[in-house]
Structure 1
Amino acid sequence: MPVAPACPIALTAYERERLKKMAYGHKTEHRIRQRAQVVLLAARGRSNARIAREMGLHRDTVRTWRGRFAAHRLPALSDRKRSGRPPRFTPLQTAQVKALACQLPPESGTPLARWSAPELAREVVARHIAPTISASTVRRWLKQDAVKPWQQQSWIFITDPAFRPKAERVLDLYARTWGGLPLGVDEYVISADEKTSVQARCRCHPTLAPGQARAMRVNHTYGRGGALAYLAAYDVHRAKVFGRCEPTTGIDPFMKLVAQVMSQEPYASAKRLFWVVDRNSVRPEAKP
């Protein structure tokens, strides 16, 4: 039988430039590079048999990509869309799983504090939403809507009726404003707080430095030095921290922190110095 002649290929300047980038680009996929090289050789007038020999391909492969390019140009060098495996789950089942993940476990009688992907998969099967489902499928569906039931975040309602006026004064100070007027260059804002029950501990044996083929070695035993309270003052606008350790908290340790700050410049000669503290920092009695 007579062999059909090869499709003639004539390239525009844009197509030739694109094909060269596809054929010789370092990040181009191998199959795309081969197809671009086939088209470039065909544009030089070479036969399918010669292109097949030079590139180590079957003649039918060369004929296929040469014909596709001749019919549909550059877009034809990409893979055709495939139907793929039919979906195992319906959109309704996907929505039901996401809705279940947004419910608290006690609402369904499950003795859990938070959902995990494996527990959700078991609950889906138990509720007959789907006959079987894997934890990875559940995790992939939840990722689509950024649903993370295994995470938690603490929050609290504001119960103080005077919270807004109190917060406004503090926020104004942080924005260098007081009484509707901007603070001067010789006016400062200090925010102070405390951290109680800090364990003072030291290792019973020194840490060994790493060496060749040896990791750093840290001994797990330590000696207890008791509990301390750390008091800190932060200059809001100059980003400077003052701190001290005390055996306990209360008005006396707090006044030592105040004296520590006020004995230094520029605070000692400041026109005004605002301290932002909570009640626990300045109450007379000390914490146990």
Structure 2
Amino acid sequence: MPVPRARQIALAASERRRLKRLAHYRTAPFQQVVRARLVLDAAHGYSNARIAVRRHVHLDTVRTWRGRYADQGLEGLKDRPRPGRPPRLTPLQQATVKALACQLPAETGVPLARWSSSDLATEAITRGHRPGDLGLERPTDPGRRHSQAVAAPVFIRDPDFQTKAARILDLYQRAWNGRPLGDEEYVISSDEKTSIQARCRCHPTLPPGAARMMRLNHEYDRGGSLAYLAAYDVHRATVFGHCAAKTGIVPFMTLVEKVMTSEPYTSAKRVYWVVDNGSSHRGKAAVDRLARDFPNAVMVHTPVHASWLNQVEIFFSIVQRKVVTPNDFTSLDQVEDRLTTFERRYNETARPFKWKFTPADLKDLLARIERHEQKEHHSQQPTGYDHQPAALQPAA
């Protein structure tokens, strides 16, 4: 089938000025900018194939917009009416969302470092708008979508890895030593997020604006650092936090006391504390110390190098993305206030994480690791041929 010849484009001076203005307009829709540049290239005498290479578009795209401009002029570069639901947003509603998105969350009293669509929807609801009216997705718990992505450790050093890991996975499924947990038994996942710095930027952070992303100055003064200790109720999705100058036994036990002296944990039959092997809660001494201070508490350690089994790490990832990044705080007091306020905000809407890694998945994982190690072991065995240099071989 013959390829149609390229349509000739001849521009008047006024048309060229309008197209050049559109081609370099920072706030114009990107599609309009690309189309204007295609037409200018065509008027310059470039072929369709060369324009496609220059502008990184498909050849058919060049043919389409070149032909439409040749037939209709500037009107041909506009989108044609399409079937489907008409726009639901009024200009006032659009302005409402844009004005909110172009402010730093802290300026509106929201304990976040930056906005997401769900955060904007939540704030819109608090201001009396419905998220559907504003074209935003319905707000959900920020951790709901973050079921733990599991990756095998490089080396399994813990000889009791399977036993320890299976015990924690059973707790997540509300079971302990082969029996289901009762209504008065709870599972707490706990750890520390260390070295959260207060970086005071030398120039104020600029909120998003027209054709501009949030701008953060790379120069800053250090205002110190603190540790954020958190205990997460796995099945009730409740977070208890505590800030301290550094980690250690005393800050950890302060967090434990904060949880265990509140209901329903004070009167609970059992409270299982899932922790890693950090120095604040390592070994039998930590187990005995917890049991001595709170007889209804049971400490359960993850295997060595298996903090990915600890669900509180998911919460810490949310804190890192929503609260700490980008890091722009004038003091450690501001860091602590932001963490504390976000914790209250999170507890108002949080739901349990969708933890999908089960004991059956653990067995499959360990079986794959074992097969891989066996394959590596066999590949390193001698083949039966003597590869010693001739000078080292015994005489016949």
TM-score class, shorter-chain normalisation, is 0.3 to 0.5
Larger radius of gyration: 1
